[in-house]
Amino acid sequence: MRNLLSAMLLTALPLFGFGAEKLAVGAALPAVTVNDQDGKPVDLAKEGAKGYLLVYFYPKAKTGGCTKQGCSLRDGWADLQKAGVQVLGVSTDGEKLQKEFKEEQKFPFRLLADKDKKVTEAFGVKNITGLFASRTAFLFKDGTCVYADHKGHTSDQAQVVLEFLKSANK
């Protein structure tokens, strides 16, 4: 009975965001492909092979904190572009909801529909109650992680990234 309970617990841990190892600074950008809001496949390793790529995760499109996080990046877009940063947003929402969210908020970057949780699992991002990605962000330079934000920034996500870049380039 004890072994059965242990096995059940270990099987259920990923549903609650435990067991997946978080991507660390120095790690390679995971080679995973998922569709964007328009149904077009995006190969993350290819996207981030050269230059800076920010991959940020949010729990649910069209919700308060997630909208603030995305709008921070939208509003900081000009400065992020000057710094050479491209952006990809990721949640476990489907393509249709991602498209609506992108259009309503006028995001200049693509949103990835990670319904099968391939991206969240590859990055070691917790899936809250097995359904929603936890708020996390990773910055890559030439395919290598140079910054990981596990604090869940919302309205200051762009500023946090820009401050990191400023301090890293001193």
Classify residue 6 by burial, with Cβ atoms within 10 Å: 0-12, 13-18, 19+: exposed
Q: Are 152 and 136 in contact (CB under 8 A)?
A: yes
End-to-end CA distance of the chain: 58
Tell me, yes or no, if 145 is annotated catalytic.
no
Question: What are the start-end ranges of the H helices in the chain?
Answer: 2-12, 44-47, 64-75, 77-82, 95-105, 118-123, 157-168
Query: Which listed residue (23, 44, 61, 66) is catalytic?
Result: 66
Question: What are the start-end ranges of the H helices in 13-156?
Answer: 44-47, 64-75, 77-82, 95-105, 118-123
Minimal CA–CA distance to 87: which of 163, 166, 157? 157
Task: Give the largest CA-CA distance in the chain.
Answer: 60
Return the active site residues. Answer: 66
